[in-house]
Amino acid sequence: MILNHEVTYPSPSVRDFWVLLKPRVMSLVIFTGFCGLWMAPGHIHPLLEFTAILCIATGAGAAGCLNMWYERSVDKLMIRTMSRPTASGIIDSDSALSFGVILSFLSVTVMQVAINTTAAALLLLTIVFYIGVYTILLKPNTPHNIVIGGAAGALPPVIGWAAVSPLDWRPLSLFLIIFMWTPAHFWALALNYAAEYAKAGIPMMPNTAGIEKTKKYIILYAVLTVICTTIPYFLQMAGWLYLLCSVAFGFGFIYLSVELYKSDDLKEGLRVFAYSILYLFVVFASLIADRKLYG
């Protein structure tokens, strides 16, 4: 007698689709996008400001959804990602793909109609770059995937700026901060999952270059990030309050990175990872505070 053991999953809930959008990543995207919008010279109606940020958030969520759709088979191999809705089978691949494509279309279209073409084009570039360049081309093929792919996560403040004002060199300084911050931030986490990445066939820096070399790279990018945070001050985008906060917390970032290098406990990487999020928040929050207090 042959028994058919068919695995069945409960119907996906709203929360499952919400998880597809990578809400923790989205929250950082919203904040940096708002900062770019806030720092830009000029003014648009508050309703349009809200619309622009909503489009940035929706576009970021769409990119996260498409990323989970494409990587569902790889996510099944890693403890950190196997519970994702697409990897676990709670949401089928067709539904995830449709959801991501619809959100992408809506976010870019609304940005184009309500805001302007430049902001819409940059939002489209962000989504395409994250999926087409980072997820499909870079991540499976090079350990430098997060270095180049970090450009996608660095674009939101530029999009926010473009929603209000024509682009110049100033928003690129905000882009550069996040671009340099991303490798140290991500590798600090990846140190604890090197074996899983190797099992999944993903050439992340810790499992290709080795743990010690990755730790050196983390220090290097932490230093480069702190240097880049001084650029807005020299471009006269912010004053001493911003410079003091960004450099002080930046030295904390470097210090913890050095401590990680000296330690044999890879869990120190989680401390660097957590602090890096706080650090980026402080950098952009102090930009806003400086602008609010001193203009």
**What confidence tens digit (pLDDT) does each residue in 74-94 have?**
889 888 888 899 998 899 999
CB 254 within 8 A of CB 272: no
Q: What is the mean pLDDT of the chain?
A: 92
**What confidence tens digit (pLDDT) does each residue in 137-196 have?**
999 999 999 999 999 999 999 999 999 999 999 999 999 999 999 999 999 999 998 888
Name the domain boundary from 119, 143, 166: 166
- The residue among 282, 48, 35, 63 whose CA lies nearest residue 160 is 35
Domain membership of residue 49 (yes or no) is yes
What pLDDT score was predicted for residue 79? 85
Same domain, 193 and 287: yes
Same domain, 148 and 213: no
Give me the domain span that covers residue 254.
168-295
- Residue 3 clears pLDDT 60, i.e. is over it: no
Domain membership of residue 196 (yes or no) is yes
What pLDDT score was predicted for residue 199? 86
**What confidence tens digit (pLDDT) does each residue in 61-73 have?**
999 999 999 999 9
Same domain, 260 and 290: yes
What pLDDT score was predicted for residue 102? 97
**What confidence tens digit (pLDDT) does each residue in 254-286 have?**
999 999 999 988 889 999 999 999 999 999 999
- The residue among 173, 190, 177, 187 whose CA lies nearest residue 250 is 177
**What confidence tens digit (pLDDT) does each residue in 32-59 have?**
999 999 999 988 999 999 999 999 999 9
Give the rounded percent of residues in the chain with a pLDDT score beyond 90: 79
- Residue 294 clears pLDDT 80, i.e. is over it: no
Same domain, 160 and 243: no
pTM, whole model, 2 decimals? 0.92
- The residue among 168, 169, 175 whose CA lies nearest residue 32 is 175
Question: Which residue type sits at 217?
Answer: Y
Same domain, 46 and 139: yes
Same domain, 28 and 123: yes
Domain membership of residue 6 (yes or no) is no
Q: How confident is the model at residue 293 (pLDDT cuts 50, 70, 90)?
A: confident
Same domain, 125 and 172: no
The total of structural domains in the chain comes to: 2
What pLDDT score was predicted for residue 195? 87
Name the domain boundary from 148, 166, 184: 166
CA 184 – CA 205 distance, rounded (Å): 11
Same domain, 201 and 88: no
Q: How confident is the model at residue 222 (pLDDT cuts 50, 70, 90)?
A: very high
CA 162 – CA 194 distance, rounded (Å): 38
CB 51 within 8 A of CB 114: yes
**CA 146-157-163 angle, 5° bins:** 135
Which three-class secondary structure state does DSSP give residue 83?
coil
Name the domain boundary from 131, 166, 201: 166
**What confidence tens digit (pLDDT) does each residue in 103-145 have?**
999 999 999 999 999 999 999 999 999 999 999 999 999 999 9
Domain membership of residue 230 (yes or no) is yes
Domain membership of residue 262 (yes or no) is yes
Distances (CA, A) of 162 to 152, 167, 205, 208: 16, 6, 34, 38
CA 80 – CA 246 distance, rounded (Å): 31
What pLDDT score was predicted for residue 8? 54
**CA 169-172-176 angle, 5° bins:** 140
What pLDDT score was predicted for residue 6? 46
Same domain, 75 and 93: yes
Same domain, 209 and 99: no
Same domain, 132 and 156: yes
Same domain, 162 and 256: no
Domain membership of residue 10 (yes or no) is no
CB 120 within 8 A of CB 112: yes
Mark residue 239 as left, alpha or beta (left: phi above 0; alpha: psi -120 to 50; beta: remaining). Answer: beta
What pLDDT score was predicted for residue 9? 55
Alpha helices (H) in the chain, listed in sequence order:
14-20, 23-39, 46-70, 72-75, 85-88, 93-110, 117-128, 145-154, 156-164, 169-190, 194-200, 205-208, 211-229, 231-234, 240-262, 268-294
Domain membership of residue 9 (yes or no) is no
The domain that contains 140 carries what CATH number?
1.10.357.140
What pLDDT score was predicted for residue 277? 96
Domain membership of residue 1 (yes or no) is no
- Residue 1 clears pLDDT 60, i.e. is over it: no
Rounded mean pLDDT, 2-16: 64
